[in-house]
Amino acid sequence: MRRNLLTFCIFLILALVAEEILYLQFFTDFKESQSAMMTNKEKKKEEKRLSSPPPGKMTTNSSTMTMTNSTGSIRFIFVVGLEGTGHHFYGSVVKASPGLHHLKKVLKADFSDTKQIQFALWNQKKFTGLWNIHACLKPKDICQRTTIEERKALATQRLVNSMKQLEDHINARLLLSDSHQPMQGQFVVPLNTAVSELPIGQMSYPNFLRPSRKENNPQLDTLYDACTLAKVDCRHVYIYRDPLQILLSTTVKRRYNEDLSMGVDLYEGILRKTILPQLTTFQEHSLGCAGFYEEIPTWKERMATWWQWDHQDAFDIDMKGLRVPTPENRTALDIIASMISEDETTQHRLESWQQIHNKIIQDLC
């Protein structure tokens, strides 16, 4: 008994030591990155002075940054949408697409570069992703000894480097093999849904239940800032679903929210405060919208175009192997609507949610 206890204690101590080493390495990498940035500060300042346009012609606001310097050989696509709008199905379509097939073919067995990009955006295990550094809880020494702005700078640089590395990797493979770019001229890379490992998730709005659910949302401004720095082409698409259908899926079936009132409050707030401003600000980078649960499936032609099917017949054939979404049962939706109507405040929030939903489809899709 004592021997087993001693063995357990030894393993526990070794595990803690190993974890501490990883934390210190993370902090060391951060400091080295900051030092390198400071070393080149004066040089970059002079380059900026020489290349700056006349006053009044330049702004650093994210909403006006454009990616005119994109090299064009690769396109990154991010999916914006509330949870329950079809991220899993979107990912299934992407995995079956010619676009992803072309990408995997040129990368061959080495497909890890795309995962590194997604880990740079979200890492639920270490909280080092660009979009979840706000939830930094562990390691405590890193969270306490660095500011959120410092962690954001490091995460941004990690994302920029990962994007550049992938593009360089693709270009090198094209030179060394008989592979060719796809017919549409660009390799398309999914930034979410296609690689949904546990620490990454679907990167929906919100993403994961903890630790700060209302704040667990992607941010397009930081994404497009990184794309500009990496000089790559980044776009987004918006997927949507009727509010009552979302509530039935996430709150009634999957219990993501304690009750309907909490679900309405959460999703209306995210749509109004986060998604609508993001879609409005970066409308020029949008490829369009898709509603997988509509009575009339208008999304098929768009998905076929985004992910490089040559013609619609080929797309329809590939879809036969997937579980295509269908609208929820009308009776169940009516029951949910009736339950919500019993609370006046929740009913008003639901109506606001529906109005914002309709506005986005009408004005931005």
Averaged pLDDT, 290-302: 91
Token code pair at residue 141: 């020494």
CA of 69: how far to CAs of 58, 72, 229, 292, in Å?
A: 15, 9, 9, 34
Provide the β-strand partners of residue 236.
Answer: 78, 286
pLDDT tens for 10-46 read 554 554 445 444 434 433 443 454 444 444 444 444 4
Q: Which residues contact 206 (CB under 8 A, 6 or more apart)?
A: 83, 213, 214, 215, 216, 217, 266, 270
pLDDT classification of 48: cutoffs 50, 70, 90: very low
SS3 288: strand
Closest CA to 339 of 255, 243, 259, 241: 259
| pLDDT the model gives residue 127 | 82
**Percent of the chain at pLDDT exceeding 90:** 53
DSSP state of 327: P
* Residue 190, pLDDT above cutoff 90: yes
Least confident of 44-48, 174-178, 296-300: 44-48
Question: Domain spans of the chain?
Answer: 72-242+286-325
Q: Is the dihedral of CA 208, 213, 214, 220 positive or negative?
A: negative
Confidence of residue 198 (pLDDT cuts 50, 70, 90): confident
Top-confidence range, 64-73, 144-153, 281-290, 315-324: 281-290
Largest CA distance in the chain: 78
Q: How confident is the model at residue 178 (pLDDT cuts 50, 70, 90)?
A: low
Is the distance from CB of 127 to CB of 133 less than 8 angstroms?
Answer: yes
pLDDT on residue 42: 45
Query: pLDDT value at position 110?
Result: 56
- Residue 239, pLDDT > 90, answer yes
Q: 140 vs 241, which has greater pLDDT?
A: 241
| 196: nearest Cα among 122, 137, 300 | 122
**3-state SS, residue 290:** strand
Per residue in 255-285, pLDDT (tens digit) is 999 999 999 999 999 999 999 999 999 999 9
Both tokens assigned to 237: 């698409």
pLDDT 10s digits, 51-94: 443 333 333 334 334 444 455 688 999 999 999 999 999 999 99
- 12 or 151, which is more confident: 151
pLDDT over 80 at 196, yes or no = no
Across 242-253, average pLDDT: 96
Q: Given this model, what pLDDT does residue 16 score?
A: 43
Lowest mean pLDDT among 154-158, 178-182, 238-242, 350-354: 178-182
Nearest to 324 by CA among 308, 303, 351, 346: 303
Token couple for 336: 């949910």
81 vs 195: which has the higher pLDDT: 81
Q: Phi and psi of 187, rounded to 5°?
A: -85, 135
Which letter, b or e, does each residue of 323-351 get, where b requires 16 or more Cβ atoms within 10 Å of its Cβ?
Answer: eebeebeeeebeebeeebeeeeebeebbe
> What percent of the chain is modeled with pLDDT above 70?
74
Each as own residue / partner, the long-range contacts of residues 29-35 (CB below 8 Å, 24 or more positions apart, any chain) are 29/154, 30/142, 30/146, 30/150, 30/151, 30/154, 33/153, 33/154, 33/157, 34/150, 34/153, 34/154
pLDDT tens-digit series, residues 325-345: 988 889 999 999 999 999 999
pTM: 0.79
